[in-house]
Amino acid sequence: MIDSHELKKRDLYLNKMIAFQDTEPVKVVTGIRRCGKSSLLKLMTLHLRENGIADDQILEMNFESYAFKNMNSDAFYEYVKQHIMPGKRMYLFFDEVQRVPGWEDAVNSFRVDFNCDIYVTGSNAYMLSSEYATYLSGRCVEIKMLPLSFSEFLTFHDFEIRETKSALGGIRKQVFDQNGEHYDLREVFDAYMRFGGMPGIADIGLDQEKVLMLLEGIYSTVIMRDILERENRRGQKKIADPILLKKIALFLADNIGSNISVSSIGNTLMNEGLLEDGKRKGIPSAHTVQNYVNALLEAYFFYDIKRFDIKGKEFLRTLGKYYIVDIGLRNYLLGFRDRDSGHAIENVVYFELLRRGYDVSIGKIDNAEVDFIAAKADDKIYVQVTESMVSEVVRKRELTPLQKISDNYEKIILSLNPGMDSSYEGIKSINLIDWLISE
């Protein structure tokens, strides 16, 4: 069942999975469609085989396959039961398991009835919310998968960073491809900002036309299968208008990193003439818009981020922000453009902080805003993101909110052009690209 193309390592996620191997919780890999979940399961099966687990102890089922089409939970249970090897520990891998009605019953029964270690993937957060929580509360561990980071992008596209001496005696980083051609690191970063980090792009190369076709396929599958089809399976009709869904997706993509009130989205779409398709009468209600936004969040297409009052030490109910899971998908939706590259690099930093295991919120201090507060159990960083720190006006704007914070946690400003100074009274000014490849 291994795909013909070479599996590239995703060690960040594979190591998490290995850490939970042979523990009781069901390992649940979640993330947007085509971000690499199936390949991660395959990498895990390779790891098992390399460590002495026999083929007949490993059962793989991909519910996107026609072989398992229309399978219900009873048939699912029987199929697995027939493949259990008596007296041996089994390793069960179920890809896109949410396509089986009542799958939770079956998976819970496997845990109870068989000596097994279970791994599942799903492309919709709904599977982990209501029904799944009821059946497996406390008995599952979620591994949240994202498209490629910039470091992974370099690896997947067979780029290698080498350090060379610059004319001024310093060190400069250059990127070499398999053919020995070399590029500035910034050039390759610009390609990442253009095409994004969907792993499938590595198979077709950095060709704009092919990449756009691949991204269109991902978008269509997310919208049609993970949102509209799932609504039918749930027997609900909250999301019945694919045109409105796309309009809201376009609006959120156009406004990443901006303060957004869900109640105002319908008005804005109406005022800008974006709903004039002849079908929709009037402005969609805030409740309707919220349902559509929630569907896009549940499909991992967008992520929302809350605002935190640094002085009051509480989350605020006021305007949040949305970021798109992959910058390439944004370019597919909106076309390629440079006019808001500041928000685009902010988007990249948000997901890099998530990858590194931080809980991320927006910081409010007095009337100023800190782009990100990134917190772990024993660590916190305040992060500002801007394109350049060369201008005095920009420096003041970025430094002021951080200077108001009185605690001793690290404060950094990430930019593509940090200027001459690397520190301002303890606030570090760091090159964004160096930061992205530093871990």
From CA 226, how far away is CA 289, in angstroms rounded?
18
The pLDDT value recorded for residue 4 is: 39
At 51 the three-state DSSP class reads coil
Element at 174 (helix H, strand E): strand 171-176
The pLDDT value recorded for residue 269 is: 85
Amino acid letter, residue 115: N
Binned at pLDDT 50, 70 and 90, residue 168 comes out as: confident
DSSP-assigned beta bridge partners for residue 430 = 414
Backbone φ, ψ for residue 347 (5° rounding): -60, -45
Helical H runs in 51-197? 73-83, 103-113, 130-136, 150-156, 185-195
Please compute the mean of the pLDDT values over residues 141-164 and round it to a whole number: 94
Q: Which range among 52-56, 120-124, 125-129, 306-310 has the greatest average pLDDT?
A: 52-56
Residues 6 or more apart whose Cβ sits within 8 Å of residue 179: none
Residue 149 has pLDDT above 70, yes or no: yes
Backbone φ, ψ for residue 153 (5° rounding): -60, -45
Element at 368 (helix H, strand E): strand 368-376
Binned at pLDDT 50, 70 and 90, residue 194 comes out as: very high
Is this prediction's pTM over 0.85? yes
Q: Are 160 and 176 in contact (CB under 8 A)?
A: yes
From CA 21, how far away is CA 175, in angstroms rounded?
36
Residues 6 or more apart whose Cβ sits within 8 Å of residue 18: 44, 47
The pLDDT value recorded for residue 384 is: 97
Strands 302-309, 26-30: pairing kind: unpaired
From CA 29, how far away is CA 10, in angstroms rounded?
13
The pLDDT value recorded for residue 131 is: 55
The per-residue pLDDT for range 343-379, each reduced to its tens digit, is 999 999 999 999 999 999 998 888 889 999 999 998 9
The per-residue pLDDT for range 38-69, each reduced to its tens digit, is 999 999 999 999 999 999 999 999 998 999 98
DSSP-assigned beta bridge partners for residue 110 = none
Binned at pLDDT 50, 70 and 90, residue 316 comes out as: low
Residue 274 burial (C-beta neighbours within 10 Å; 0-12, 13-18, 19+): middle
The dihedral region occupied by 316, where left means phi > 0, alpha psi between -120 and 50, and beta the remainder, is beta
Element at 332 (helix H, strand E): helix 327-334
Strands 359-365, 314-324: pairing kind: unpaired
The per-residue pLDDT for range 274-308, each reduced to its tens digit, is 666 545 557 888 888 999 999 999 999 999 998 77
Residue 403 has pLDDT above 70, yes or no: yes
Query: Which of residues 353 and 236 earns the better pLDDT score?
Result: 353
What is the spatial order of strands in the sheet that 427-431 belongs to?
Answer: 314-324, 302-309, 359-365, 368-376, 379-388, 410-417, 427-431, 423-424
From CA 271, how far away is CA 266, in angstroms rounded?
9
The pLDDT value recorded for residue 126 is: 67
Residues 6 or more apart whose Cβ sits within 8 Å of residue 173: 161, 162, 163, 164, 185
Q: How many CA atoms lie within 13 A of 397 on its CB side?
A: 11
Q: Are 222 and 216 in contact (CB under 8 A)?
A: no
Query: Which of residues 266 and 253 earns the better pLDDT score?
Result: 253
Residue 339 has pLDDT above 80, yes or no: no
At 297 the three-state DSSP class reads helix
From CA 146, how far away is CA 292, in angstroms rounded?
22
Q: Is the dihedral of CA 325, 328, 333, 339 positive or negative?
A: positive
The pLDDT value recorded for residue 212 is: 95
